[in-house]
Structure formats: structure tokens, C-alpha cells
Structure 1
Amino acid sequence: MFRYWIYIFISSLVFFSGCIQTIAIRSMGSIIDNGLVAFNEESDITIAHEALASNLKLIEALIKSDPENEKLLTFAAQGYSAYALAFCEDDSVERARVFYLRARDYGIKALSKNKAFKESLDKDVNTFKQAIWTFKKKDVPAIFWTALSWGSYINISRSDISALADISKVQALMEFVIEKEPSYYYGGAYLLLGTIEATIPKALGGDPEKAKSYFEKCFEISNNKFLLAKFYYAQTYAVTMQDRELFENVLNEIENAPVDLLPEARLVNAISKQKGRKLYKQIDDLF
């Protein structure tokens, strides 16, 4: 009998310590939220680079202890998408692909708590679309960052036919975001859809004029303050249309914009200015 009660006591300790650990991890969500706000307000790209790399590993460590935590999984999807865009794409496309896929996989894991979505992943596009509409508005962040990372991977892997085959799924995810919360992340869903329409050849369904309308909607939502949208407008639409004047004008707008144009997005705007300068140097190769 004594051994029985000892067993119950030890089991209780293990159970409650596990519960306490889970509660502690979940309470980190608001801290990480505040950290992301501070991160996005940073204008020094070097500081942001160092901070993001270490914080991503912290988030992954927390996920190890609470692998079904949707908020942490969404943070990881957002963080690795940002890391690939800001610090890999221009110098190592292969590294960017790796991190975009990691971001996508974290996002898919967050969304896979929805049984219909999980079962639709390896099925046809129509089944996938039907599953998406079982989500609610609260799921927009996880859906957005999953789609952004997935779409960004496709955008830098256009020679990969298997990657291109997933475009319709990415578009469906972003269409859900537009329906439920079109202004999320400064109209970022329109940005990605515009990029897709501008870069996919017409023979495969791309539509430059549709791309232009998507970009213009993003500009409208952000009051022309979200410079990343302008960068992709120049990089994709202007290049596809071979409009050198538009290309130069948009990149000059980015370069001349004040760093505090959108205080809560100083970092992404600083990165957009940096990427814009690099893109401008390629002008004679692009036109």
C-alpha cells in the first residue's frame, strides 16, 4: 500500500511539473508578441539579423516542449519567412529555399490541427479549397504566413515544375485572407497574389494586369507606406512589362522614402530600401 501511494505521489509530481512547464511556455506568447513588435520597429538591419537568428532557435526550443502550440508554430513560420527574405534571398537562394520551406512546414503544422485541412494536403485543389473555408478569421495569421512562405519558395524556384504545381493552393490560402481580413500585414495577401500573377508566364496562367490591380490594392491599404510592396512591384510587374521608366521611378520612391514612413514596420522598410539598391544595380541586365 505504501509503495502504491509513493507511485501516485511521484506520478502527480511528474504530471503537475509537465502542466507547469506547458503553462509557462504558453505564457511566453505575449512576451514573444511584444518582442516581434520591437523587432519590426528596429531600423538597424544588423541588430535585427543577430536578434532574429537567436530568437528563432529559442522559439524552436519552446516548440520542442509544446509541439502542438499553434501560436509558437505561427511565430516560427513568420520568423523563418522574414529571415529568408531579409538575409538569404539576395546572397544565397538555396539557403532562402531551405528557410522558406521550414517556415511553410511550421505553418502547415499549425494549420493541421484542422482535420479537414490536414487530410486535404495531398488531394486535389478543389478539395484543398473546400478545407480552407472550414477555418475562421482567428486563423488568418497562420494561414497568411504559411501562404507567404510557400509562395515565396515558389517565386524563387520557378524552374521547379513540382513547386509551380502548388501555386493554386497558395492563391487559395491568400484569397481566404483577403475575404476574412484584407488589411492583414498591410495588405500582404495582395502583394503575394500580385507577385504570382506578374511572374508566372501568361501561358501558365499569369496575368500582368491582374497583378497590377493587386499591387494597387496593397498600396491603397498601406497608404503607400509599405515599401516591400513597391519593391516587388518593380521587381516583378515593371520587369515583366519591360517598363524601365516605371522600374526606375518606383525604386527611386523607395530610396527617397524616410525610414520612419511606417514606424511599426521600420525594419521591413529598411530591408526594402536595401533590396531596392541591389535591384537597381541590375537595371541594364533586366531591360
Structure 2
Amino acid sequence: MATSGVASSTSCANAAASRHASKNGSDRGGCPVASILPGFGQGQRCQRRGPARLWLPALAAALPFVGPAGCAALTGAATTRFADGLSQAILNQDDPELVREGTPAYLILLDALVRSEPDNPRYLGAAAQLYAAYGIAFVQDEARSASLTLRAREYGTRAICAAEHQACHLDELQYDAYAATVDQLRPGDADALYGYCVGSLAFIRAHSGDWAAIASLPKIEHALQRLLALPGAPNPAGVNMYLGILNTLRPEALGGRPEVGRGYFEKAIELSGGRDLSVKVEFARSYARLVYDRELHDRLLREVIDASPRQEGLTLFNTLAQAQARDLLASADDFF
């Protein structure tokens, strides 16, 4: 699996970029690795387009850590209630620009918490998630995004090391040793493993020109699969969506597994009760466009546009998802 996974990851840029070259010179909305983190592109052929909605689930998972887990230890129940309420206020915000402007304060808070307890896997994992979300979803400058996501990856690797010492230097292991180490992780390590995965994917997305980074995708996919097997792991809908994207980076003829990816997207919709509109947007972008299923593509996007974005804990994501759905639907005639 390691050999074939790395080989297919290394070849995915040419495969996916050329796949639609004869179709008005467009692809699924970005370069191949950009599909991991849709919405932003890098390089000459991949232009930045707006918030990378995929990383908002990471923001959702990180904020509760910053609130109850972080502040409670420092200032007690009153601040805990305030931080929890602030987290929910952000997730229920329908103005993404306001969130973009306010999130750096959380980053500084997390840096301070990590400095106070440098081996605390909860703080490290939360920092990895929030730096990943902010660096990809809200930062337009490519150099700054690369720097922030590098910090996300560093926090993620420190988190998994702090949670399980055998997982230290995880990224340096060959695939088989990596998989064996990840498979030994326990339910108590799930939050740290999630932070590690999110930080690693953000780094890969922001360093899409680095083939060494891209070659690590099979490892991260295995880690995500391990997360699904751990009871009580965070954000199972988001993990299924990430796996759906990874399995639809390439058409089946070039080593992709689009039907496996479809299964992950459908599971993510089921787990979210259909309330998370971003899953349907990614289902349309990553799967329906890959297999040229115009009927499914348009149906999913119309469902997103017609739905109410106001869902507890999902309003921010849904607001961004609806904007992306309109863009994808508007470009459908050119694509198909």
C-alpha cells in the first residue's frame, strides 16, 4: 500500500491537472492537492478563490478545547462558561469576515497555553487545529499560509508525541512502521491524533509544490482511518469527509477509488444529519465532478442553496458552503 499510495500521490498532479485540460482548460475547482483543501489554490495554475471551507470543521473542533479545556484550568467556571459561549457564538456567526478578524486572538491564547504546559496534548492538539484552520481558511498570502500551517504541523506532531511517546518522530517512519505505530494508539490518544491529522493535511495543502509533503498522503489517510476505529474520536463526520476527498483525488483509471470516496461522503452526511451543508458541496466538487455525474452534482448543490444555513454550531460553515455552491453551480455548464 505504501508503494502504490506514494506513487499515485506523486503522479496525481499531472493526472488530475490534465484530466480536464481539454474541457475549457478547467478542473474540479483547483489543482489536485488543492482538492484536499478546496477553495484555495497555489501556483500559477491554481488561484486563490475564497475561504477553504474544508478546514472549518477543524475550527469547530479546536474552539471547545480553547474554551472549556483551556481557560477552565486557569480562571475557573465563570471563564469556562464565557469561553464556551464565545466558541458557540463564532460557530453560529454568519459573517465569515468577522471570524477572520477575531481568530488571531485565539491563536495567541493557544501559544500562551502551550508555553505554560509544553507537553499538554490537549493544548498542542487544539493549537494544531486552529492554526491549520486559520492558515488555510482565512489567510490569502501564500507565504504566510505556509508559515502558519508549518506551525500547525509542528503542534500536531508534538501533540501525538505528548499523548504517546512511541509516536514521537512519527513522520520519520517508513509506511509499515508508521501504520503499526498508529494502529497501537488508544481511544485516549484520539484527540491528539486528530490534531496531528488536521495539522499535517493543512501543511500538505499549503506546500502543494513539495513532493515530499504530497508523498505523505497515504500515511495521513491511514491515520484518518485509525481515527474512525477509535471510540469517541472527535468529528467523525469531518473525518469521513476528509477520507472522501482523499479517495477522489484521481479517477479510477489512475488509481483513485471514487466509489469508496462516495461511501465516505454519504456516511458524513448521515453522521451530520444533513445539517452540515459543506459535506454536500465537497461531495459535488470531489466526486460528482470526477465521475461527470451532472444530475448528482446539481442536485446536491441545489439542496445546499435551498437549505437554511442557520443550524446550531454550523451556521458559519453553512454560510460559506452556500457561497461555494453557487459558484460551482454557475460553472457547471462549462465543466460538464
Which residue does 2:244 correspond to in 1?
194
**Residue deviations 1:5-50, cap 9 Å, x none?**
xxxxxxxxxxxxxxxxxx9894369845554333223232222222
Corresponding residue of 2:285: 235
TM-score (norm 2): 0.68
**CA offset digits 1:102-122 (Å, max 9, x no partner):** 322211111112221114321
Indicate the residue corresponding to 1:268 in structure 2: 317
* Letter matched to residue 45 of structure 1: P
Which residue of structure 1 aligns with residue 195 of structure 2? 145
Identify which of structures 1 and 2 has the higher relative contact order when contacts are C-alpha pairs closer than 8 Å and 6+ apart.
Answer: 2
Structure 1 residue 100 and structure 2 residue 131: aligned? no
Q: Structure 1's 85 and 47: CA in aligned 2 closer, same or farther, altered over 3 A?
A: same
Moved over 6 A (4+): none
The one-letter code of the counterpart of 2:277 is L
1:112 counterpart (161, 185, 192): 161
**Alpha-carbon displacement from aligned partner over 1:76-110 (angstroms, at most 9, x marks no partner):** 1121222234324xx55665444333322211111
1:209 aligns with 2:249: no
Amino acid at match of 2:222: A
Paired residues for 1:70-109 under 5 Å: 70-88=121-139, 91=140, 95-109=144-158
Maintained 8 Å contact 1:183/1:221: no
Tell me how far apart the structure 2 counterparts of residues 24 and 78 of structure 1 sit (CA, whole Å): 17
Q: Deviations over 1:213-256 (max 9, x none)?
A: 11111111111111221121112111211223322222222122
- Please provide the CA RMSD for this pair: 2.8
> What is the rounded CA distance, in whole Å, between the counterparts of 1:282 and 1:134 in structure 2?
45
The more displaced of 115-124 and 31-40 is 31-40
1:43 aligns with 2:94: yes
Give me the whole-angstrom Cα distance separating, in 1, the residues matched to 2:309 and 2:244.
24
SS class of match (1:242) = coil
* Kept in 1: contact 2:191–2:233 (CA 8 A): no
Letter in 1 for 2:317: V
8 Å CA contact 1:25, 1:66 repeated in 2: no
Q: What SS is found at the alignment partner of 1:131?
A: helix
| Residue in structure 2 matched with residue 58 of structure 1 by the alignment | 109
Percent identity of paired positions between Structure 1 and Structure 2 = 27
The alpha-carbon deviation at position 203 of structure 1 amounts to 5.9
What letter matches 1:272 in structure 2? A
Alpha-carbon distance, 1:58 to partner: 2.1
Moved more, 209-218 or 149-158: 149-158
Q: Which runs of 5+ in 2 are unaligned?
A: 1-69
Which amino acid in structure 1 is aligned with residue 88 of structure 2?
A: V
How many Å separate the matches in 2 of 1:66 and 1:175?
A: 29
CA distance in structure 2 between the partners assigned to 1:190 and 1:234 by the alignment: 15
1:224 aligns with 2:274: yes
CA distance in 2, matches of 1:256, 1:183: 31
Secondary structure of 1:198 counterpart: coil
Residue type matched to 1:112 in 2? C
Q: What's the TM-score, normalizing by structure 1?
A: 0.79
* Counterpart in the other structure of 1:133: 183
Higher helix proportion (structure 1 or 2): 1
Cα distance change, pair 154–276 in 1 and its aligned pair in 2 (3 A): farther
Segment drifting more, 144-153 vs 247-256? 144-153
In structure 2, relative to structure 1, the CA distance for the partners of 1:26 and 1:71 (3 Å cut) is farther
Letter in 2 for 1:188: G
Distance 2:254 2:185 in 1: 29
**Partner Cα distance (2:292, 2:286) in 1:** 10
1:178 Cα shift?
A: 0.5
How many angstroms apart in 2 are the aligned matches of 1:73 and 1:135? 17
Aligned CA distance change for structure 1 residues 278 and 84 (closer, same or farther; 3 Å)? farther
CA distance in 2, matches of 1:214, 1:228: 14
Distance verdict in 2 for CA 1:55–1:249, change over 3 Å: same
Deviations along 1:165-200, one digit per CA (max 9) or x if unpaired, are: 111211111111110147732511111110001013
